[in-house]
């Protein structure tokens, strides 16, 4: 999440700098350069807007977390490669995987949805996505207490409507 904040701050600083440059070019009556710089201002503001929305989604996920996991392995149904990720946060509203945000349940019936949750002694597997694109995330949860697993299972079901399958306990 820190990388998302840093990128947002960078875009904010870039936007301010380009706006100031555009105003200075307008004051000195360099119209062509001001128009070009105005285009750069628009691009910088669009990037700032998108990054601010991403940060808002990341903060929502962070604030409503169900489980925080230090390490995870990401696999996709359509691709054979696997990725290793740092801290992962499982939330009611999505998944914060390092500095990547996956939201579910925010776009209605046709958007990204949490489809399946499986928990065993070592891993928690989340399958989510839209109809054409599914992603499966395998997380090393480090949970040892069956009662804690049952609490997490109940919370996932209550918050997302998806019943977790528990195996090997």
Are 140 and 113 members of one domain?
yes
- For 93, residues 6+ apart whose C-beta sits below 8 A from its C-beta are 57, 60, 61, 64, 103, 104, 105, 106
Boundary of a domain, candidates 15, 38, 62: 62
Write out the two tokens for 43: 């691009």
Q: pTM value? A: 0.79
Co-location of 130 and 52 in the same domain: no
The model's pLDDT over 83-93, given as tens digits with 9 standing for 90+, comes to: 666 778 989 89
Count the helix, strand and coil residues of the chain and give each as a percent rounded to the nearest 5: 45, 30, 25
Find the domain containing 117 and state its range.
65-166
Confidence (pLDDT) at 33: 93
In the chain, the percentage of residues whose pLDDT exceeds 90 is 39
* Residue partners of 56: CB distance under 8 A and separation at least 6: none
pLDDT tier for residue 145 given thresholds of 50, 70 and 90: confident
- Are 44 and 80 in a shared domain? no
Residue recorded with tokens 């990341």 = 58
Residues 132, 70: one domain? yes
The pLDDT of residue 52 is 97
Residue 76 has pLDDT above 60, yes or no: no
pLDDT at 10 over 90: yes
Q: What pLDDT, on a 0 to 100 scale, did the predictor assign at position 112?
A: 82
pLDDT of residue 24: 96
């Amino acid at each position: 999440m820190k990388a998302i904040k840093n990128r947002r701050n960078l875009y904010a600083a870039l936007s301010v700098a380009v706006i100031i440059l555009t105003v200075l070019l307008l004051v000195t009556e360099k119209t062509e350069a001001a128009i070009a710089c105005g285009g750069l201002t628009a691009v910088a503001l669009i990037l700032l807007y998108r990054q601010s929305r991403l940060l808002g989604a990341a903060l929502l996920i962070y604030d409503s977390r169900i489980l925080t996991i230090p390490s995870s392995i990401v696999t996709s149904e359509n691709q054979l490669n696997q990725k290793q990720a740092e801290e992962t946060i499982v939330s009611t509203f999505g998944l914060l995987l390092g500095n990547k945000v996956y939201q579910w349940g925010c776009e209605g019936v046709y958007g990204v949805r949490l489809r399946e949750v499986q928990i065993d002694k070592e891993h928690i597997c989340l399958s989510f996505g839209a109809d054409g694109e599914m992603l499966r995330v395998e997380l090393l949860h480090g949970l040892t207490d069956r009662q804690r697993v049952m609490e997490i299972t109940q919370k996932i079901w209550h918050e997302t409507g998806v019943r977790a399958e528990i195996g090997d306990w």
